[in-house]
A and B are shown apart, each in its own frame.
Chain A
Amino acid sequence: MEQCTKCGAVLSPTDVFCGNCGTKRNQNVSEKEEQSIRQVIIFYLAYLVYAIVSYVIYLESDSLLTEIILESVFILLTLIFCFLDLKRIMKLYSLRFINWKNLAFSIVFPVFTAVIVYFGISWINMLLLEEDYNMFYDYMGYENSFLWAFIFVGVVAPVFEELAFRGYLFNQLMNVTTSRVTIIATALIFALVHFSFISILWIFPFGIVLGYLRYKYRTLWLGMIVHFIHNFLVLLLEYYYFSGETLLDMFS
């Protein structure tokens, strides 16, 4: 039974105002909504500033140390935001709603997305820019380039992007709007931070699926699995077309 936040009088479900003290029922909700909207904007601005600073630093130095420092800052930034909502975020690491069906989907789905996105991007790049970009051009200067690419793209991105977007951001937006709108909004913001408007075409629908998994099964694990397999397969394809080596060649 709901009570008035000011005087504690019992409210019936249809009451808009407290009959005893006249306080509006959703006053606290409005303040919470305002706070959540402020946090969403601050969260996004923080990542935007991080992206600008990273870009400027990369222009000066693209060493492995620079990359490690910048990735650490990204991790730290994500953790700081998540500490603001720690209780609700910890619940998202529950395995309670994971079953063989959603696990199977989370393993099979990214195989398709990785192949479609990888060859789709190559085709678009060739069509529009008449050259294809390979992410190993950025890593070729490092010793053990595949290992570092695996850590940054395969591990850090899925774990911390899911935590930031499907964890913190998702929770804040759920304070303000419906689950359907939250899934769409987080997918759009997730697509925006990749800083390529053309890539909205595939990152947005990918984000919708990740958001849906987070909402339906109340966990970040499935999103992390999908994100990890997708990024890892794209990485393998990139490495294969860059060096001509497969994963088996690397270990043999």
Chain B
Amino acid sequence: MDELIQTPAEATHCSLCSTPLAADQNFCVNCGYPEKGTESEKAKFHADRVQNQRKQQFAKKELKTGRIILLVIAGLSFLSGLFYFFAMDDSASLIASGILSIVYLALAYWSQQKPLIAMVLGLLVYLTTIVINGIVEPETIHRGIIMKVIIIAFLGKGINSALQLRKNK
């Protein structure tokens, strides 16, 4: 008798997040918990959840690295502008590098609110910089090639992480 009274009451709320559930719902509409699933389905849900949380944490870390990379490129870009200005009296390079640094800084700041777009734009700006430098001074294409590959890889990972975070939001 007790069971008959308690069963409908238990089934009306998710046992994981307490979201109210309709009688015909097999899964919680808020967290996806298989309320009417088998024990192995429930165990799989918990395992997936833990794995997702780890992925989220990892994605956040990679995104932070991407943001740091944008700040580093902003600094390097400004320093190279200063070098050209003081060594070669090239004020055009200083202004161009200054603008570029501001763009990178703005993208790094923006990556806190809009990480995906900021990382994509960061990658595109960086690739454009490599191409422009290569056109102006062809010998710069090979210079620091490992560093360039690392930066591109980190920005690429940043994009991937931002997508991951959106997917599991």
Contact = CB atoms under 8 A, between A and B. Distances in A.
- Does A pair with B? yes
Interface of A: 11-12, 14-22, 24, 26, 30, 33-34, 37, 40-41, 44-45, 48, 51-52, 55, 128-129, 173, 176-177, 181, 185, 188-189, 192-193, 195-198, 200-201
A198 B95 contact: yes
Contacts, number: 105
B32 A17 contact: yes
Given A20-B27, A195-B135, 18 more contacts: A14-B29, A16-B29, A16-B30, A16-B31, A17-B31, A20-B24, A30-B166, A33-B116, A33-B163, A37-B159, A44-B127, A55-B135, A128-B92, A129-B92, A193-B128, A195-B132, A197-B99, A200-B103
A197 B100 CA distance: 7
Contacts of B128: 48, 192-193, 195
Contacts of A15: 29-30
19 contacts: A16-B29, A19-B24, A19-B25, A20-B25, A20-B26, A26-B169, A37-B120, A37-B159, A41-B124, A45-B127, A52-B131, A176-B116, A185-B121, A195-B128, A197-B96, A197-B97, A198-B95, A198-B96, A201-B99
A181 B114 contact: yes
Interface in B88-136: 91-92, 95-97, 99-100, 103, 114, 116-117, 120-121, 123-125, 127-128, 131-132, 134-135
B121 A188 contact: yes
A19 to B, nearest CB: 3
B34 interface: yes
A38 to B, nearest CB: 10
Contacts of A129: 92
A37 B103 contact: no
Contacts of B31: 16-17
A47 B31 CA distance: 43
